[in-house]
């Protein structure tokens, strides 16, 4: 322990700064325009007063901006700042014993008690003179005059006390505090700032090869472009395409994941790489790279962004296998180790060997794959199975990309154990898939979203909710049919500021599993071309369009932090609200989770959380059905028939008209 300099005189302690992830090892995340609320335990020994400031700056800036922190009680202080630009920010905390503030408090107490304060006034004068020395410009003169008044033997004591305790004078002195002995928090913490779509996005996944107007024909990027108006009408703003690269032929999978492919079988797009090229090439049957760029341009017109898939694995035919044998693990029989999870074998997939001694070369190439697509204009990537590649690789490669393209968005597809999912988010993924698909009961949903949105997890893990994917057809959807699809759509779209569906399977309520107990689709699109009848009368497309419109029109649904669950006395009905910080927009969602039966229940609204006074009535407007109700008090009746619509999405209006609104009301 050093006993030099001013070490021993710095008496303030700063601790338990929040947000701080794993001792500051990882940054927190925000989108442009959001705020960072910083709190800390700050205290010193004895009875001295202290002051403290939140410090923040953009990553490259030399100087901190300061904002004073407010006292919350129990030695806790708080301040906030907004992240206005698409850059990283740093923040920290500084605090010091504020002798002047302490003197001023003491003086007023002594005056109240009628004590002699003549010496105290001289002490105050001295403190103000010291502040004058630290000041600049005209303030110095004012401070000197102030000190002189406090010292003056000619002025009556009463006047000197009044001047000393005057608020404006106090504020002037406090502009020039003595901070030589200030404590700085030991760490600078980081905020990564993403663009707004990172926090609010509506995804649609589709296989372009199934887009052909002609049955049995391989769809192309051009066919895909023809579907853009359909997706835009439903209100999606991200179109995510499964891998668009050449597909391997060795061990190609046939229909329904058969180990042998028939002559016409197109194979799984995740078996990447063939004679025609690998991760930097486009599957010829989809079109050319030029045509892919045209699709992106076309999509822009509909305010849709194209997201592509990053799946770092190879088919046995990938050019890498011959060109870079060192990137793979070789078995004693001179074959490459294919993917396996014994006793399961995935012979169509060769994983990279990240423990290879050529790891630097491999990392560089994989990073270049991402840059290749950035150069084509792609700014959103869905990353396949990132949990089967080293964490450090992602930390490094995502940082490399963000340095040059701060607007890029990476969605982590890690359906694995919770700590691994969270760790990937810490490594830099912008959004993450979740367990939402398997959270179906009220207890499960409440517990899971409390963890995601009300614990520290929310600082770095941005949920993206998917009721289905090409790999996940849940039992709930299999058994619940159309009402289940509607309920899950509403839950995904309102619980998650970010959500997505795998379509057209979703809007057409495709729910036939390959076999009982499996989550795979029967005749899965992963292994064959499909022809979807988008105009089927039972399609949910209009319902989805309505829900997505509600999302766009209601800022409460564009963020996740203000989620609040409300009790209902029926386990099959869930109710929750979201609101903007200023309570100008409040959405209340009520969903019947039982797709088979109508349910009723008494909802117990937490009015205080919504800023509604218990003696006021309020209007609830169902944005799905357009009905309006006047509610009063916390307890209200709800009834939902899944055969009609299994959910309400209410907008709450706190203010209703009364006779007092008329001009002639006194």
Q: Which of 17, 332, 382, 309 has the alpha carbon at shortest distance from 191?
A: 17
Q: Which of 618, 393, 566, 594 has the alpha carbon at shortest distance from 487?
A: 594
Label residues 473-484 b or e (16+ Cβ within 10 Å = b). Answer: bbbbbbebebbb
Nearer to a second copy, 396 or 629 (CB): 396
- The maximal CA–CA distance of the chain, rounded, in angstroms, is 108
Site of tokens 């994941």: 257
Q: Is it true that the peptide bond before 550 is cis, omega within 30 degrees of 0?
A: no
Q: Does 360 participate in binding a second copy (rule CB under 8 A)?
A: yes
Q: Does 455 participate in binding a second copy (rule CB under 8 A)?
A: no
Does the annotation count 413 as an active-site position? yes
List the catalytic residue out of 20, 237, 413, 525: 413
Sole binder of a second copy in the list 301, 331, 447, 655 (CB under 8 A): 331
Q: Does 525 participate in binding a second copy (rule CB under 8 A)?
A: no
Q: Which residues contact 503 (CB under 8 A, 6 or more apart)?
A: 204, 205, 206
Q: Does 215 participate in binding a second copy (rule CB under 8 A)?
A: no
Sole binder of a second copy in the list 45, 303, 515, 659 (CB under 8 A): 45
Nearer to a second copy, 394 or 521 (CB): 394
Say how many residues touch a second copy, by CB under 8 A.
64
List the catalytic residue out of 20, 384, 459, 525: 384
Among positions 65-84, residues that touch a second copy (CB under 8 A) are 74-75
> Six-digit token pair at 314?
């190879």
Q: In a 10 Å sphere around its CB, with 0-12 CB exposed, 13-18 middle and 19+ buried, how is residue 159 labelled?
A: exposed
Sole binder of a second copy in the list 64, 302, 338, 359 (CB under 8 A): 359
Q: Does 312 participate in binding a second copy (rule CB under 8 A)?
A: no
Q: Which residues contact 167 (CB under 8 A, 6 or more apart)?
A: none
Q: Does 59 participate in binding a second copy (rule CB under 8 A)?
A: no
Q: Does 322 participate in binding a second copy (rule CB under 8 A)?
A: no
Among positions 542-561, residues that touch a second copy (CB under 8 A) are none
| Min separation Cβ 20 and a second copy, Å | 9
Q: Which of 32, 94, 86, 81 has the alpha carbon at shortest distance from 60?
A: 86
Q: Which of 362, 365, 341, 344 has the alpha carbon at shortest distance from 353?
A: 362
Q: Which of 132, 131, 116, 122 has the alpha carbon at shortest distance from 164?
A: 122
Sole binder of a second copy in the list 141, 392, 552, 628 (CB under 8 A): 392
Is residue 174 within a helix (H) or strand (E), and if so which, with residue range? helix 167-174
Q: Does 395 participate in binding a second copy (rule CB under 8 A)?
A: yes
* Contacts with a second copy, 21-40, as mask; x by CB under 8 A: -xxx----------------
Q: Does 9 participate in binding a second copy (rule CB under 8 A)?
A: yes
**Rounded distance, CA 48 to CA 102, Å?**
6
Does the annotation count 188 as an active-site position? no
Pairing relationship of beta strands 189-194 and 183-184 according to DSSP bridges? unpaired
Q: Does 403 participate in binding a second copy (rule CB under 8 A)?
A: no
Residues that bind a second copy (CB under 8 A): 1, 3, 7-11, 13, 15-16, 22-24, 41, 43, 45-47, 74-75, 97, 105-107, 109-110, 112-113, 115, 119, 122-123, 126, 181, 331-333, 335, 340-343, 351, 354-355, 357, 359-360, 363, 387-393, 395-396, 399, 417-420, 423
């Amino acid at each position: 322990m050093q006993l030099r300099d001013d070490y021993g005189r710095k008496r303030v302690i700063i601790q338990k700064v929040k947000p701080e992830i794993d001792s500051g090892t990882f940054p927190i995340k925000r989108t442009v325009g959001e705020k960072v609320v910083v709190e800390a335990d700050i205290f010193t020994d004895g009875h001295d007063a202290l002051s403290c400031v939140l410090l923040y700056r953009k990553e490259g800036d030399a100087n901190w901006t300061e904002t004073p922190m407010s006292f919350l009680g129990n030695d806790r202080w708080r301040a906030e700042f907004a992240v206005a630009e698409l850059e990283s920010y740093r923040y920290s905390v500084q605090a010091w014993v504020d002798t002047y503030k302490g003197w001023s408090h003491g003086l007023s107490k002594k005056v109240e008690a009628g004590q002699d304060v003549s010496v105290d006034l001289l002490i105050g004068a001295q403190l103000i003179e010291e502040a004058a020395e630290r000041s600049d410009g005209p303030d110095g003169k004012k401070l000197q005059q102030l000190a002189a008044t406090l010292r003056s033997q000619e002025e009556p004591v009463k006047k000197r006390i009044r001047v000393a305790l005057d608020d404006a004078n106090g504020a002037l002195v406090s502009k020039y505090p003595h901070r030589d002995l200030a404590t700085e928090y030991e760490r600078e913490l980081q905020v990564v700032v993403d663009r707004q779509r990172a926090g609010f996005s509506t995804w649609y996944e589709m296989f372009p090869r199934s887009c052909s107007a002609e049955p049995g024909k391989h769809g192309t990027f051009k066919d895909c472009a023809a579907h853009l108006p359909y997706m835009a009408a439903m209100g999606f703003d991200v179109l995510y395409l499964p891998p668009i690269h050449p597909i391997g032929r060795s061990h190609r999978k046939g229909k329904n994941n058969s180990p042998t492919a028939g002559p016409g079988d197109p194979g799984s797009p995740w078996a990447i790489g063939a004679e025609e090229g690998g991760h930097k090439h486009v599957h010829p049957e989809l079109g050319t790279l030029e045509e892919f760029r045209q699709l992106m341009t076309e999509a822009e017109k509909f305010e849709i962004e194209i997201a592509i898939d990053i799946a770092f694995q190879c088919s046995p035919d990938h050019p890498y296998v011959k060109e870079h044998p060192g990137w793979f693990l070789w078995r004693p029989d001179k074959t490459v180790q294919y993917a396996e999870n014994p006793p399961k074998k995935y012979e169509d997939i060769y994983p990279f060997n990240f423990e290879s001694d050529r790891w630097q070369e491999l990392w560089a190439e994989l990073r270049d794959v991402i840059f290749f697509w950035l150069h084509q204009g792609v700014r959103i990537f869905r990353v396949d199975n990132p949990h089967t590649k080293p964490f450090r690789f992602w930390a490094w490669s995502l940082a490399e990309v963000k340095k040059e393209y701060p607007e890029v968005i990476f969605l982590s597809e890690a359906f694995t154990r919770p700590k691994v999912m969270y760790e990937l988010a810490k490594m830099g993924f912008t959004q993450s898939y979740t367990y939402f698909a398997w959270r179906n009961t009220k207890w499960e949903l409440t517990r899971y979203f409390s963890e995601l949105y009300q614990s520290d997890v929310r600082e770095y893990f941005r949920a993206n909710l998917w009721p289905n994917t090409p790999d996940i057809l849940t039992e709930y959807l299999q058994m619940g049919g159309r009402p289940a699809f509607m309920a899950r759509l509403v839950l995904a779209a309102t619980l998650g500021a970010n959500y997505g569906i795998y379509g057209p399977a979703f809007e057409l309520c495709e729910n036939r599993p390959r076999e009982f107990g499996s989550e795979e689709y029967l005749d899965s699109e992963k292994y064959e071309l499909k022809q979807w009848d988008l105009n089927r009368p039972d399609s949910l497309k209009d319902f989805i369009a309505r829900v997505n419109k509600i999302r766009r029109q209601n800022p409460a649904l564009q963020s996740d932090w203000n989620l609040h669950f409300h009790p209902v006395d029926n386990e099959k009905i869930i109710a929750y609200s979201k609101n903007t910080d200023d309570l100008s927009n409040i959405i209340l969602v009520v969903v019947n989770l039982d797709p088979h039966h109508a349910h009723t229940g008494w909802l117990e609204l937490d009015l205080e959380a919504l800023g509604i006074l218990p003696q006021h009535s309020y209007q609830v407007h169902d944005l799905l059905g357009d009905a309006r109700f006047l509610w009063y008090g916390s307890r209200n009746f709800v009834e939902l028939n899944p055969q009609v619509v299994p959910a309400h999405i209410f907008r709450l209006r706190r203010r209703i008209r009364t006779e007092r609104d008329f001009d002639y009301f006194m």
